[in-house]
Amino acid sequence: MTLHLVDRAEAYSNRTAIVVGEDAYTYSDLLRVSSIVATRLLSGRKNLNAGRICILVPPGWDYVVMLWGIWRAGGVAVPMAISHPPAELAHVIEDAKPEAIIAHPTLFAQINNLADERGLPVLESSTLSQEIPLCEIPIVQEEGPSMILYTSGTTGRPKGVVLTHKNIRSQVESLTVAWGWDHDDHILLHLPLHHVHGIVNVLLSALWNGSTCEIFPQFNAVEVWERLSHRNITLYMAVPTIYRRLIEAWKRANSATRTAWASGAGACRLSVSGSAALPVTTLELWEKITGQRLLERYGMTEIGMALSNPLNGERRPGYVGKALPGIEVRLVDEVNHLVAEGEPGLIQVRGATVFNEYWRQPKETEAAFTTDGWFITGDQAVVEAGAYRILGRSSVDILKTGGEKISALEIEGVMLTHPGVRECAVVGVPDVDWGDRVCAVIVSEDKDHLSTDELRAFAKKRLAPYKVPKEILIVPELPRNTMGKVTKPEVLKFFKPEKA
Ligand code: MLC
Ligand code: AMP
Domain stop point among 166, 186, 206: 186
Count: domains in the chain: 2
- Summarize the confidence of residues 41-58 as an average pLDDT: 98
Q: Whose CA is nearest to atom 6 of ligand 2?
A: 300
Could you tell me the distance, in angstroms and rounded to a whole number, from the CA of residue 347 to the centre of ligand 2? 12
Could you tell me the distance, in angstroms and rounded to a whole number, from the CA of residue 188 to the centre of ligand 1? 17
* Tens of pLDDT, residues 125-184: 999 999 999 999 999 999 999 999 999 987 778 999 999 999 999 999 999 999 999 999
| Pocket of ligand 1 contains residue 300 by CB under 6 Å | yes
Domain CATH code at residue 11: 3.40.50.12780
- Summarize the confidence of residues 451-460 as an average pLDDT: 96
Domain stop point among 157, 186, 215: 186
Per-residue pLDDT at 449: 84
Phi and psi at 22, nearest 5°, equal -85, -10
Residue 194 lies in a domain: no
Among the bound ligands, the one closest to the CA of 319: 2
Domain CATH code at residue 424: 3.30.300.30
Per-residue pLDDT at 443: 97
Domain stop point among 186, 203, 231: 186
Is residue 252 over pLDDT 60?
A: yes
* Tens of pLDDT, residues 318-351: 999 999 999 999 999 999 999 999 999 999 999 9
* Ligand 2 pocket by Cβ (under 6 Å): 151, 274-277, 296, 298-301, 320, 377, 379, 390, 393, 400, 405
Is residue 61 over pLDDT 90?
A: yes
Residue 349 lies in a domain: no
Q: Are 165 and 143 in contact (CB under 8 A)?
A: yes
Residue 51 lies in a domain: yes
* Tens of pLDDT, residues 79-138: 999 999 999 999 999 999 999 999 999 999 999 999 999 999 999 999 999 999 999 999
Residue 204 lies in a domain: no
Among the bound ligands, the one closest to the CA of 472: 1
Rounded CA separation 33/237 (Å): 27
Strands (E), 192-313: 212-215, 235-238, 270-273, 295-300, 304-308
Identity (one letter) of the amino acid at 104?
Answer: H
Q: Whose CA is nearest to atom 37 of ligand 1?
A: 403
Cβ neighbours around 476 below 10 Å, total = 7
Rounded CA separation 118/97 (Å): 10
Per-residue pLDDT at 1: 54
- Summarize the confidence of residues 366-395 as an average pLDDT: 97
| Pocket of ligand 1 contains residue 171 by CB under 6 Å | no
Mutate to test the pocket of ligand 2, among 275, 305, 322, 397 (most ligand atoms within 8 A of CB): 275
Nearest to 262 by CA among 222, 225, 221: 225
Could you tell me the distance, in angstroms and rounded to a whole number, from the CA of residue 80 to the centre of ligand 1? 15
CA torsion, ordered 167, 170, 174, 179, to nearest 10 deg: 70
Could you tell me the distance, in angstroms and rounded to a whole number, from the CA of residue 300 to the centre of ligand 2? 5
Is residue 448 over pLDDT 80?
A: no
- Chain mean pLDDT for the chain: 97
| Pocket of ligand 1 contains residue 197 by CB under 6 Å | yes
Residue 317 lies in a domain: no
- Summarize the confidence of residues 18-40 as an average pLDDT: 98
Residue 154 lies in a domain: yes
The continuous run of DSSP H or E covering 221 comes out as helix 221-228
Rounded CA separation 123/142 (Å): 26
Residue 436 lies in a domain: yes
Among the bound ligands, the one closest to the CA of 83: 1
Domain extent, residue 46, equals: 4-186
Mutate to test the pocket of ligand 2, among 379, 406, 407, 436 (most ligand atoms within 8 A of CB): 379
Rounded CA separation 26/19 (Å): 9
Is residue 16 over pLDDT 60?
A: yes
Per-residue pLDDT at 140: 96
Ligand 1 atom nearest 297 alpha carbon: 53
Ligand 2 atom nearest 151 alpha carbon: 2
The DSSP call for residue 220 is: -
Residue 475 lies in a domain: yes
